[in-house]
Chain A
């Protein structure tokens, strides 16, 4: 019995000292001929799932283009957002093209080789609400996704640690902040009526527009309050892979592919600093 316990303890100790990373990601991708992309399909129009189980959206198109340039097939996996952002992916997937803001905290567990577009953040209210400009939202009950940049903005504590972040000011001071699992839950409470559960919500402008297009009785208030850069993310520990991804995204930007995809999904070019 004792020998057996010692053996288990030794195995665990040896396993624990080994690095969790499987090795250079780029080699793995080329060898398999597949780029495995983590995507959150609950985020239209960036990523959404079709009835046959396949995916479409801006992020999906960009990821497919990147795989194309690497000369490999693309494959999508769908872990929850917290699992993507917690890092240490190991061998589970290779890259996230998921509209991720490269915040300082995230940069501690993930690498952000390339920013591929900038999304405007905006406030929305129920269409029956009287509010016409942002100042009227001070002191109101405002909904947001939890632990995302919009919540940090509402708390006046937004730090985006990336190059080329357009400057912004805090234009709204909420009376109460309600956090949700994701932005789309905010819209579901917002649609119930003006002040029923929420007075206003904050989200990505394209996502709000998408919800309004789908028949949600909402209205956008004021101009976008800040633009956040959104980046491709990879696991730490493979500088060659990072350089290759940076090169590919830069090429996609220069030849206009990114702008074209942005126009296709958003109707405007969000790929340049506003």
Chain B
């Protein structure tokens, strides 16, 4: 933190001035955090009782403002000391420690539920082996199909043909304008009325693809439109057809722009695929719920599912970073 002190302050107050200023800032931070903490904690529980006893106070104070303050003050001091300690470390280490601390807090939160790890452990094979696998393949197929639909719909929106434009805008408007859950129901329950009875997984894949295709169409359109007109004109000057210009000049440059938002969509899809659980597909969320209900142990399964989803998303983040680097080669020198 002391590194952040502006040069002018050094000149004005000298070294002792810096110390004084920093001390004041830290004291203010401790005060604010204490106030915030005191308004959040309940001032009850074994920790509060222990602290009251330490100061020789009656247990009648449990739950009072004093107990809240006693709990909040050490927390605030710890937080400020923590930030002081962090500031002395190199950047990468700081990031790592912040992640580690947040993970520890998370773990403490989860452990407070008194989880039955034997129960969790016995069900991990089915959660990963069937649940996560199904989630992964349903969302992978859906994102691939959605990308194709999105490309066609984006070209339709950019096309001069009124029918194509009408089809594309109607499609994006409807599928962006209605809930995915409703689309899943309509496709699964509605299509059989036309004589087309689809199995749960194809129904789910169709619903996810159509819905995400509509969102991604806009991403593709933005990507294509972000390529300057000069590129098209240069292609025409070379005597290329519009189709060839699109394929060889515009799309390769547009892909680079759309990768981060597409990656976003993929991660969102990974989690929205849980909606197909209503069709009885044994994806991660379905199994987490039914397995948990068998013995009324929901938290174990929900936390396990959360961690698995998170892990999958994390792997995709890494993959996305690699793909971005690959397509971003032209920008590096």
Contact = CB atoms under 8 A, between A and B. Distances in A.
Contacts of A215: 296
A92 B197 contact: yes
Interface in B165-201: 188-189, 192-197, 199-200
Interface stretch (B37-45, B56-64, B258-266, B279-287): B279-287
Contacts of B280: 38, 77-80, 83
A49 B188 contact: no
Interface in B267-307: 277-280, 282, 286-287, 289-291, 293-298
Contacts of B282: 53, 78
B195 A214 contact: no
Query: What is the interface of chain B mostly: helix, strand, loop, or mixed?
Result: helix
Given A16-B194, A79-B278, A86-B189, A51 B125 contact: yes
Contact of A50 (B196, B279, B289, B294): B294
Interface stretch (A27-35, A40-48, A170-178, A194-202): A40-48
B123 interface: yes
Interface residues of A, number: 37
Given A41-B294, A44-B293, A79-B279, A88 B189 contact: yes
Contacts, number: 83
Given A79-B280, A80-B280, A83-B279, A49 B290 contact: yes
Contact of A214 (B123, B196, B200, B297): B297
A188 to B, nearest CB: 7
A216 interface: yes
A85 to B, nearest CB: 11
Nearest to A77: B280
B126 A53 contact: yes
B131 to A, nearest CB: 10
B122 interface: yes
Interface in B99-146: 122-123, 125-126, 130
Nearest to A87: B189
Interface of A: 1, 12, 15-16, 18, 20, 22, 38, 41-44, 48-53, 77-80, 82-83, 86, 88, 90-92, 184, 187-188, 210-211, 214-216
Q: Which 6 A-B pairs have the closest CB atoms?
A: A48-B294, A214-B296, A79-B280, A80-B278, A78-B280, A15-B195
19 contacts: A16-B195, A20-B195, A38-B280, A41-B293, A42-B290, A44-B293, A44-B294, A44-B296, A48-B290, A51-B122, A51-B126, A51-B291, A53-B126, A53-B130, A78-B280, A79-B278, A88-B193, A92-B199, A216-B296
